[in-house]
Amino acid sequence: MVTASRQWLVVRESLPVFARVMNNTMESISVRGPRLNVLAVLAFNDPACTAIAPALGAHHGLMCEGAEQALAAVERDFPPDVVIIDSRLPDAEGLPEEVARRQPGKAISFVWLGQPGGTLPPDFSGQITYPPSAAEVEQLLWQLSRDPSAGVRPLRKSS
């Protein structure tokens, strides 16, 4: 088995010309952020939403059909960093508050999966238009993994 330090040595040895050209200075560039726990909550098993699944490949993804399944997963053992919520769900706008109540103190980004031209509800920090493309979902998750605070919005207080 090759260890991480051994892999680094192999990579470094294979790039001696690059290191000389750059005056023996190499910058570390991170092209991928940390893996996120992504919960996709869909209204029903919709083939148009299957584009979400490949976009979750670089992350820990869980797709649920309806709020009941999603809330059960959050309570059991899936603390989400990002929750994608289908606007066609009954009480979709109330779901962020329910998820946050089950994960107190955790910073969670809520993403609205809605119709083009629709408005973004108050507790949501991002929007994907229906039907979603894998590229659109990947781009959003990449942005959130690079700067998680960019997508986190405090929940409004219920009166």
- Summarised one tens digit per residue, pLDDT across range 115-158 is 888 788 888 888 888 888 888 888 888 888 877 666 555 454 44
Phi, psi of 154 (to 5 degrees): -65, 140
From CA 14, how far away is CA 25, in angstroms rounded? 15
Q: Which residue reads 């207080």 in tokens?
A: 157
Q: Given this model, what pLDDT does residue 35 score?
A: 85
Query: Contact, 84 vs 113, CB < 8 A?
Result: yes
Q: What is the pLDDT of residues 22-70, one digit of tens each?
A: 444 555 444 556 788 999 999 877 776 778 888 888 888 898 889 999 9
Is the pLDDT assigned to residue 5 strictly greater than 60?
no
**Which range among 4-18, 31-45, 71-85, 114-128 shows the weakest confidence by mean pLDDT?**
4-18
pTM: 0.74
Query: Contact, 92 vs 113, CB < 8 A?
Result: no
From CA 55, how far away is CA 131, in angstroms rounded? 14
Q: Can you name the residues that pair with 112 across neighbouring β-strands?
A: 85, 127
Q: Which domains does the chain have, with CATH numbers?
A: 37-150 (3.40.50.2300)
Alpha-carbon Rg for the chain, nearest whole angstrom, is 19
Is the pLDDT assigned to residue 14 strictly greater than 50?
no
Q: What is the pLDDT of residues 88-106, one digit of tens each?
A: 998 898 999 999 999 988 8
Burial (CB < 10 A; 0-12, 13-18, 19+), residue 22, is: exposed
Q: Given this model, what pLDDT does residue 8 score?
A: 36
Burial (CB < 10 A; 0-12, 13-18, 19+), residue 77, is: exposed
Mean pLDDT of 73-91: 91
C-alpha to C-alpha distances, 108 to 26, 38, 100, 122, 123, nearest whole angstrom = 35, 10, 8, 14, 10
Phi, psi of 53 (to 5 degrees): -55, -50
Q: Given this model, what pLDDT does residue 18 score?
A: 39
